[in-house]
Structure 1
């Protein structure tokens, strides 16, 4: 649960090198060993655990936004949002706050609304937003607000599931986003704070910005008991977390400071900053509150603002804060990563990071000593030989998948992706005009092709991913292969024409295709590499000799998503054809567990 805490008041395009892969086996049904780059010891890189007792921020340099963290025993558990991706609300765990691994998802599917289904794919940008993870009296709780549907909670006895279907608690007409809960053992009352924005705002509240309200909940955390009470209004104020420390109430909030009023909150502008503020009251959870800014963007991450996260304690009683970097930078193409900051307490206020300009406000650190020693370097899994009958936790579908059209058991050791007919390009299918404009390729078939499977890129320096495909099961009018997508998509794969001939093709973000050579073999290897935000595709028929195809392209953050790596398969005319994926490997400039 959100526990009462006790204060420890301390003061205070150039191509990148790629790894070699093994030659393919000439017998297509015999499983080839995955060409995993053997790591005799854990790998380190330009971010995360450095293997010497220090870390470099971001410690989780991938698209894991909107974190919340709950500690139970000696383990820290994190949830992060992922909008329309399915399964939803990833769960990670760590023993030292620095090294995190995937252990599951809260929502097996986004089951509460039809727009997230494979036959609609109409929920882009919505789904799971910033949530709150809590453990109370032997039960796990995950609260979140779907902008289109309202406040919900799911529960579980084990963090790894199974989780209940979501229970709806408040309608979307009353709330916007970012719930956070607290059980007060002193009064035996439970609370949730929510950004209600302007949905309940009365004319008497002349303060510009979002309203944040506290509601009383039932002790079992599943029902709202009152109409809520307004406790704070501020520009873009959201992402609250409630703590009670030594009898004092603290509410952490993210809020915009507008240095240039010509742009709105969230728009890229170096003069604007999303800061972390703290409300403090010695009287009541309802206030009155004092307000202080405790974290601003500083100098180490260019113009990326730092806010929205969770407070933690180490076994030595030192305090730490995990937070995201947001997207107000030139090339945040990996998405919104997580940073870890030391916290010191001065006069009863937390200072997050280090006060580099001596103004009483903390700024993020780039490197620091790890909070807890003794645990190995690790990271979320990436590589996969598809030998398990269940998908690895690193993978997520673009909307809920069509489960009849994919399999890990039809051909053991391979991922099979059957092709469905692409959804119609009309209202009710694919992206809505009010979410994305059609000037960025939103009308292209990829956004309405179900069963696209992908995982996050890691870091912003270099990376190389390789996958082996068997294309022998493809049928006329089918397109399938490798995709990179986030703000934009870029595809390299195989297209089968009406006569059954296969050709390599590249597709750009606007849906324009460039045809390549005819494919007359069954095995195809596709490799993609990036140096910063510039990426390329290569292909091979033997897994050893690769040829470049397509242009150098720019990967980008957009639609609230960082760049991703994965697979696609669709058919322009009918449900017909499939591809098999033998393995996927990913090498990048960052931490990786030994022999992953």
Structure 2
């Protein structure tokens, strides 16, 4: 099948689903009478009334979910990526699709702009999504700036500019709010870490405080009250169920004190605990562990999420798997667990070892039947006036240097001069790297556009480029990056000649043949965490170039697929992207034309 003549069409032949790419003409290689079908894979909706965890096998960390009517809305963090705080929606808790972002850009600080790119690992962290009296609220803490809130009348926006509520000197991360309609009071719980810790608190770990807010949710009214301290305790959520207060908190259990919380160690476990009080939101509280790692995810820690309810009044819990572990996962995927209430405690998952604590399930019946398979967007032919919601920039983009309109149906990425390798530009050693190539031009080149990979069992992405607009000293092409980056593209020398090149995470290049064609197709495939690049000049015959390389979670980011373009000397040159398609081992909906 020619990728240059057929685009984004799923069809069934001999029980095998293939992916193709269409041209920008009406001549499509498809039988119009053939029914298009979504497909399933090793995770998510299985098409038989069940799902396999993760239900969302991609780097969508730090989720929070708010239900309004018959629809569930999820937000997840993504640090310095712009736009920030992705929003997804679902009708059944299993199938999720993109509907927007809370932050059009990370507008509140200069370090997130294209001319600084100095906000790596900061920006948008775990947030809380709430709906109250017809208005949407999103709360989050930027570690470098403090607690903020933004609001909207419609979940899809526009969202207001962030309002700062508490300074960074008082708060660490993970806010969550609750409106008590009976008492007509509003609250926010925050992990304040050790920032307000007094000598009298001898308990090791993070302090979690509850502040009273104004009823409109935009101001803090008091100094806060300490309600819990625990090792790595964060990601609290407040619920009031049948008159009883519940606070869900993620907390580390240290089986080996030689390592810190978050460091990969099979003896340590991040568990979900629940605080329960029938007296007051301030306690006193009983404490119980309700979820711990189990056998189905290779002893991978599980916690931090949201409690939700189905129309049949059954309870469910969406949570992330912790990132510091081995394949088969990339980033922090989302899992859905049934919840059983036992003696007034919400036990999450299945108690597989009969110790009174739940563990994650691998496969389970869906909470809500009757809805079709859906998934976050991946494929794109760049024919819309706006970028697809799956795409995010590495820091805020230089908007004058990209376009969907200068060449209709193509994405144009103009090359800016790479930022200086000086203090105040690009990543800092203490926040981003362990001397692993972070002084590379790639991390200081603006307008890198990418999307998440969907699992790592298998995956193949292909893009078509037009390189005729490239200029001397420009480098552009395809990138995979997360903890490390690997590039395949074109470099133009001083004389204007174009050569294929591969670049590894330490910026070491392997130079390839001269490319005289205007068209270049790049394909990247992975099996587990091993990936390769191939290139083609006609879209039919592909040739491997560069080594097999390892994709890796790191710097709090899973692997991503996308495009880069920069110039070593000046603002000059551009590359055009015609289309991008991505096949992976997981649920994928039929693309709408």
TM-score range for the pair, normalised by the shorter chain length = over 0.9
Residue 431 of structure 2 is matched in structure 1 by 435
Residue 64 of structure 1 is matched in structure 2 by 60
What pairs with 1:3-14 in structure 2 (closer than 5 Å)? none
Q: 1:220 and 1:34 mapped to 2: Cα distance?
A: 55
Q: 1:91 aligns with which of 74, 87, 91?
A: 87
Residue 402 of structure 1 is matched in structure 2 by 398
2:57–2:329 contact (8 Å) kept in structure 1 = no
Q: Residue 32 of structure 1: CA displacement?
A: 5.7
1:37-57 superposed Cα distances (whole Å, 9 cap, x missing partner): 998211100000000000000
Q: 1:472 and 1:328 mapped to 2: Cα distance?
A: 42
Aligned CA distance change for structure 1 residues 39 and 104 (closer, same or farther; 3 Å): farther
SS at 2:435's partner residue?
helix
What pairs with 1:78-477 in structure 2 (closer than 5 Å)? 78-331=74-327, 334-437=330-433, 439-477=435-473
Q: 1:110 and 1:499 mapped to 2: Cα distance?
A: 39
SS at 2:189's partner residue?
strand
Q: 2:299 and 2:4 mapped to 1: Cα distance?
A: 42
SS at 1:435's partner residue?
helix
Q: 2:495 aligns with which of 499, 518, 521?
A: 499
TM-score (norm 2): 0.95
1:231-286 superposed Cα distances (whole Å, 9 cap, x missing partner): 00000000000000000000000000000000000000011000000000000000
SS at 1:439's partner residue?
coil
1:116-143 superposed Cα distances (whole Å, 9 cap, x missing partner): 0000000000000000000000100000
Aligned CA distance change for structure 1 residues 321 and 20 (closer, same or farther; 3 Å): farther
Q: 1:303 and 1:551 mapped to 2: Cα distance?
A: 32
Residue 8 of structure 1 is matched in structure 2 by none
Q: Residue 331 of structure 1: CA displacement?
A: 3.0
1:343–1:353 contact (8 Å) kept in structure 2 = yes
Q: Residue 327 of structure 1: CA displacement?
A: 1.4
Aligned CA distance change for structure 1 residues 60 and 35 (closer, same or farther; 3 Å): farther
Aligned CA distance change for structure 1 residues 88 and 332 (closer, same or farther; 3 Å): farther
1:34–1:385 contact (8 Å) kept in structure 2 = no
Aligned CA distance change for structure 1 residues 35 and 366 (closer, same or farther; 3 Å): farther
Q: 1:334 and 1:377 mapped to 2: Cα distance?
A: 22
Q: 2:29 and 2:307 mapped to 1: Cα distance?
A: 37
1:396–1:453 contact (8 Å) kept in structure 2 = yes
Q: 1:381 and 1:81 mapped to 2: Cα distance?
A: 18
Q: 2:51 and 2:260 mapped to 1: Cα distance?
A: 34
Work out whether 1:591 is the aligned partner of 2:587.
yes
Q: 2:3 aligns with which of 7, 21, 27?
A: 21
Q: 2:70 aligns with which of 57, 74, 78?
A: 74
SS at 2:111's partner residue?
helix
TM-score (norm 1): 0.95
SS at 1:351's partner residue?
strand
Q: 1:39 and 1:266 mapped to 2: Cα distance?
A: 47
Residue 18 of structure 2 is matched in structure 1 by none
Work out whether 1:529 is the aligned partner of 2:516.
no
1:342–1:352 contact (8 Å) kept in structure 2 = yes
Q: 2:382 and 2:25 mapped to 1: Cα distance?
A: 12
Residue 582 of structure 1 is matched in structure 2 by 578
Q: Residue 433 of structure 1: CA displacement?
A: 1.2
More displaced 10-residue stretch of structure 1: 321-330 or 34-43:
34-43
1:331–1:557 contact (8 Å) kept in structure 2 = no
2:237–2:248 contact (8 Å) kept in structure 1 = yes
Q: 1:142 and 1:22 mapped to 2: Cα distance?
A: 43
Q: 1:487 and 1:333 mapped to 2: Cα distance?
A: 14
1:162-212 superposed Cα distances (whole Å, 9 cap, x missing partner): 000000000000000000000000100000000000000000000000000
Q: Residue 21 of structure 1: CA displacement?
A: 1.8
Q: 1:278 and 1:483 mapped to 2: Cα distance?
A: 42
Aligned CA distance change for structure 1 residues 33 and 290 (closer, same or farther; 3 Å): farther
What runs of 5+ residues in structure 1 fail to find an aligned partner? 1-18
Q: 2:502 and 2:391 mapped to 1: Cα distance?
A: 23
2:6–2:28 contact (8 Å) kept in structure 1 = no
Tell me the matched-pair count: 574
Residue 568 of structure 1 is matched in structure 2 by 564
Residue 5 of structure 1 is matched in structure 2 by none
Aligned CA distance change for structure 1 residues 36 and 238 (closer, same or farther; 3 Å): farther
1:61-111 superposed Cα distances (whole Å, 9 cap, x missing partner): 000000000000000000000000000000000000000000000000000
Q: 1:230 and 1:36 mapped to 2: Cα distance?
A: 64
Aligned CA distance change for structure 1 residues 586 and 273 (closer, same or farther; 3 Å): same
Q: Residue 303 of structure 1: CA displacement?
A: 2.6
SS at 1:447's partner residue?
helix
More displaced 10-residue stretch of structure 1: 295-304 or 137-146:
295-304
2:121–2:432 contact (8 Å) kept in structure 1 = no
2:321–2:333 contact (8 Å) kept in structure 1 = yes
Q: 2:385 and 2:577 mapped to 1: Cα distance?
A: 14
What runs of 5+ residues in structure 2 fail to find an aligned partner? 8-22
Q: Residue 34 of structure 1: CA displacement?
A: 11
SS at 1:434's partner residue?
helix
1:196–1:211 contact (8 Å) kept in structure 2 = yes
1:23–1:542 contact (8 Å) kept in structure 2 = no
Q: 1:45 aligns with which of 41, 44, 58?
A: 41
Q: Residue 36 of structure 1: CA displacement?
A: 10
SS at 2:525's partner residue?
strand
Tell me the C-alpha RMSD between the 2 structures.
1.5
SS at 1:134's partner residue?
strand
Greater RCO between the two (CA within 8 Å, min separation 6)? 1
2:433–2:555 contact (8 Å) kept in structure 1 = no
